[in-house]
């Protein structure tokens, strides 16, 4: 019996991984839509926020209402893509890379779309972990995962160089830990407060609405474990 459960868990993970791969591949085939001549309005704004973090090179100045965390992560991942794909794989010099981007700025948009797609794919696996915490039957929630992965609302998240993929990721990550500690409140300790504070800060720097999960989550978990005693 135990052996059968282990085998079924392996099958679950394999199916979820295959779903994630299928989702990624199906989106990659249309990821360069509109480029280099057309792009989403939000993509231009998010790219400006990203490049404003290196204003001493780009010349873009940030605005007070611009998010910080999502553009910063996007900048790090974009530079990583540029380093591996352009510098190592294509053997271009820094000057040549700079000239290539200058001639076709849409390169940064396409890298940003790849990043959004990768993060959204990770969100599918996060959803799988959340469903497992609720101990819902796999045969019930796997069709839901398929439906969510290929639903229309996922298109502007996975195929746009923007903050929505980060928003979704941090929202689900907070939700995962909230459910984890709610179901096993004995594990909720001082380190958990620190964890939620970090997650809330990251979420706030992406879109402040997503940080609500941590803010209210700490209140709920604290009351559930301590009531008004502590």
Cα–Cα distance for residue pair 121/130, rounded to 1 Å: 15
Cα–Cα distance for residue pair 66/71, rounded to 1 Å: 9
Q: Residues with Cβ < 8 Å from 183, sequence gap 6 or more?
A: 133
Average pLDDT for residues 131-145, to the nearest whole number? 88
Percentage of residues in the chain with pLDDT exceeding 70? 90
Cα–Cα distance for residue pair 170/184, rounded to 1 Å: 21
Average pLDDT for residues 70-85, to the nearest whole number? 86
User: What per-residue confidence (pLDDT) applies to 91?
Assistant: 73
Name the average pLDDT for the chain. Answer: 83
Extract the tokens encoding 108: 């940064």
Residue 68: band (very low, low, confident or very high) from pLDDT cuts 50, 70, 90:
confident
- What global pTM score does this model have? 0.86
Least confident of 25-29, 52-56, 131-135: 52-56
User: What per-residue confidence (pLDDT) applies to 108?
Assistant: 84
- One-character DSSP codes across 151-177: SGGGHHHHSSSSSHHHHHHHHHHHHHH
User: What per-residue confidence (pLDDT) applies to 116?
Assistant: 92
């Amino acid at each position: 019996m135990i052996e059968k459960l282990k085998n079924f868990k392996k099958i679950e993970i394999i199916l979820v991984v295959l779903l994630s791969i299928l989702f990624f591949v199906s989106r990659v085939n249309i990821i360069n839509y509109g480029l280099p001549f057309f792009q989403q309005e939000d993509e231009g704004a998010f790219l400006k926020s990203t490049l404003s973090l290196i204003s001493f090179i780009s010349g873009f100045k940030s605005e007070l209402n611009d998010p910080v965390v999502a553009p910063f992560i996007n900048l790090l991942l974009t530079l990583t893509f540029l380093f591996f794909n352009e510098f190592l794989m294509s053997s271009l010099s820094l000057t040549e890379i700079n000239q290539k981007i200058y001639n076709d700025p849409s390169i940064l948009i396409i890298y940003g779309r790849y990043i959004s797609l990768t993060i959204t794919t990770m969100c599918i696996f996060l959803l799988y972990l959340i469903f497992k915490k609720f101990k819902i039957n796999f045969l019930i929630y796997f069709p839901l995962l398929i439906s969510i992965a290929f639903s229309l609302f996922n298109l502007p998240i996975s195929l746009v160089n923007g903050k929505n993929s980060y928003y979704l990721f941090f929202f689900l990550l907070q939700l995962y830990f909230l459910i984890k500690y709610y179901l096993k409140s004995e594990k909720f300790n001082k380190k958990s407060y620190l964890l939620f504070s970090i997650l809330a800060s990251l979420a706030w720097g992406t879109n402040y609405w997503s940080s609500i999960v941590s803010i209210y989550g700490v209140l709920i978990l604290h009351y559930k474990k301590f009531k008004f005693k502590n």
